[in-house]
């Protein structure tokens, strides 16, 4: 139904039209005048009564109570009732706003939850890996799986952080990685690491394939017996690489559980290199070994760090460059990074996507590379800092 706005003139015109053709009488006019005067008088009396009530400080609320009486309230009482009504109205509005806020929050949470679930699902579909999904969801943590459990280690921003940029990683058709500067110029150096497992190596062909450096295993310690053993190919690899123009360093696969054993490992590597070259990296390879009761796995992070520092200090005293080799699990859980900050790092991470947050100098990015002059697979590395 429409709300209509009536015009007084239209009403009069309409009324006049309905009465057209009739003769007006004098009696009708006189009666109308008496009626008008009576209405005016009544209105004046009503206004006067209202004024009297107002100035006497009383309000009459024309509403009968249960006894049929008309209650009377003072001005103050009426103002109090009005104030109370306003407070109730404000409370009602506040409750409505709060309810609306709760509903909006619930809807927002539902939307966020749905978005999160979609993100997790899509990430799992694209990576096919729960660990990669968690790493994307927790960028402020190092996420690793160790001993069958997930670990979320908060990144220590006070340590030296990696300054590598993802967009500067170049992947060649061969699968090799290179690192470039902003202009696209290659700044990394191609390297490998080998042991007796690679057999006889044609180092001339290795050099021709672009390999600039090689880190050679000099010794390893048995994780069960604890016996320190020399790599059967170390002398041949050192002499062959140097003759071909490939820069060398050595590493010891360590299972040292005391500082004395760490020093023993360092001395063995130093003695092996001293007849050939000085000032090159000697690396302590610290890994957890899959097997029954590997001896080094029993160490606490503090004990393991003490052992590492003993090795590195000995190498440095002998005029070589100490270095630590580790993977994400070891770097996140089993060493004290703040105590090893000044030690150059060699990090194993088999991916072309950056992850480890702290600074490292050599990146071992593949354990199944192919290089001319080597039969079978070989570990591939790039050096990010000048170490030779």
Bridge partners (DSSP) of residue 141 are 154
**What pLDDT was estimated at residue 117?**
83
Contacts with 369 (C-beta within 8 Å, 6 or more apart), sequence order: 175, 176, 192, 377, 378, 379, 380
Residue 364's SS3 state is: strand
Across the range 343-348, mean pLDDT stands at 98
**What pLDDT was estimated at residue 79?**
64
Which CATH class, in words, describes the domain spanning 163-383? Answer: alpha beta
pTM confidence score: 0.71
Core vs surface per residue 54-90: b (16+ CB within 10 A) or e:
eeeeeeeeeeeeeeeeeeeeeeeeeeeeeeeeeeeee
Confidence of residue 127 (pLDDT cuts 50, 70, 90): confident
Q: Flag the least confident range among 100-104, 200-204, 382-386.
A: 100-104
Start-end of H helices in 56-74? none
Task: Report the C-alpha dihedral over residues 128, 131, 133, 136, rounded to 10 degrees.
Answer: -140
Residue in the block written with tokens 């063995």 = 268
Residue in the block written with tokens 């402020």 = 140
Neighbours of 231 (CB within 10 A): 22
The Cα 202–Cα 210 span in angstroms is 13
Bridge partners (DSSP) of residue 82 are none
The Cα 53–Cα 68 span in angstroms is 21
Bridge partners (DSSP) of residue 191 are 213, 381
What is the DSSP-derived secondary structure letter of residue 224?
T
What is the DSSP-derived secondary structure letter of residue 180?
B
- Output Rg (C-alpha) for the chain, integer angstroms: 46
The Cα 372–Cα 204 span in angstroms is 9
pLDDT digits (tens, 9 = 90+) for 256-266: 999 999 999 99
Checking if the pLDDT of 290 tops 60, the result is yes
**What pLDDT was estimated at residue 53?**
45
Q: Which residue in 323, 325, 327 sits closest to 315, CA to CA?
A: 323
Token duo for residue 211: 């390999």
pLDDT digits (tens, 9 = 90+) for 66-100: 455 555 556 676 666 666 666 665 655 566 656 66
- Angle separating helix axes 259-274 and 301-317, nearest 10 degrees: 30
**What pLDDT was estimated at residue 8?**
33
How is 248-288 classified by DSSP, letter by letter? EEEEEEE---SHHHHHHHHHHHHHHHHTT-SSSEEEEEE--
Q: What Å distances lie between residue 279 and 250, 252, 282, 346, 351, CA to CA?
A: 11, 17, 9, 17, 30
Are 360 and 318 contacting, i.e. CB atoms less than 8 angstroms apart? no
Q: Flag the least confident range among 38-52, 156-170, 305-319.
A: 38-52
How is 329-356 classified by DSSP, letter by letter? HIIIIIS-GGGSTTS-EEEE--SSS---
Q: Which residue in 81, 82, 80, 77 sits closest to 58, CA to CA?
A: 77
Bridge partners (DSSP) of residue 345 are 324
Percent of the chain with pLDDT strictly greater than 70: 71
Bridge partners (DSSP) of residue 202 are none
Strands 345-348, 189-194: pairing kind:
unpaired
Q: Flag the least confident range among 3-17, 136-150, 202-216.
A: 3-17
Token duo for residue 92: 């009602």
Q: Can you give the residue ranges of every domain in the chain?
A: 73-118, 163-383
């Amino acid at each position: 139904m429409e709300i209509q706005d009536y015009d007084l003139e239209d009403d009069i015109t309409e009324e006049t039209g309905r009465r057209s053709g009739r003769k007006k009488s004098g009696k009708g006019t006189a009666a109308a005048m008496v009626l008008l005067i009576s209405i005016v008088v009544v209105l004046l009396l009503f206004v006067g009564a209202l004024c009297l009530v107002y100035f006497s400080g009383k309000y009459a609320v024309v509403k009968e109570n249960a006894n049929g009486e008309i209650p009377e309230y003072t001005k103050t009482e009426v103002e109090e009732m009005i104030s109370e009504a306003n407070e109730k109205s404000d409370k009602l509005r506040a409750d409505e706003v709060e309810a609306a806020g709760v509903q909006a929050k619930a809807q927002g949470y539902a939307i966020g939850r749905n978005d999160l679930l979609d993100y997790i699902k899509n990430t799992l579909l694209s990576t096919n890996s729960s660990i990669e999904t968690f790493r994307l969801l927790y960028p402020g943590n190092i996420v690793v799986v160790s001993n069958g459990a997930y670990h979320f280690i908060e990144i220590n921003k006070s340590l030296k952080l990696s300054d590598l940029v993802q967009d500067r990683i170049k992947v060649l058709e061969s699968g090799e990685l290179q690192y470039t500067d902003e202009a696209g110029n290659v700044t990394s150096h191609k390297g490998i690491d080998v042991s007796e497992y690679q057999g006889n190596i044609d180092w001339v062909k290795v050099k021709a394939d672009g390999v600039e450096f090689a880190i050679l295993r000099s010794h390893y310690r048995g994780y069960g017996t604890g016996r320190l053993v020399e790599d059967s190919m170390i002398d041949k690899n050192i002499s062959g690489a140097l003759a071909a123009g490939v820069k060398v360093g050595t590493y010891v696969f360590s299972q040292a559980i005391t500082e004395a054993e760490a020093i023993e490992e360092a001395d063995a590597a130093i003695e092996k290199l001293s007849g050939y070259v000085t000032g090159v990296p000697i690396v302590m390879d610290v890994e957890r070994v899959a097997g029954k009761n590997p001896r080094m796995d029993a160490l606490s992070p503090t004990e393991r760090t003490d052992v590492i520092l003993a090795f590195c200090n000995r190498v440095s005293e002998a005029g070589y460059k100490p270095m630590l080799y580790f993977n994400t699990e070891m770097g996140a859980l089993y060493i004290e990074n703040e105590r090893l900050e000044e030690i150059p790092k060699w990090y194993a991470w088999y991916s072309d996507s950056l992850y480890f947050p702290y600074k490292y100098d050599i990146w071992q990015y593949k354990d199944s590379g192919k290089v001319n002059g080597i039969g079978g697979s070989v570990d591939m590395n790039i050096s990010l800092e000048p170490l030779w």
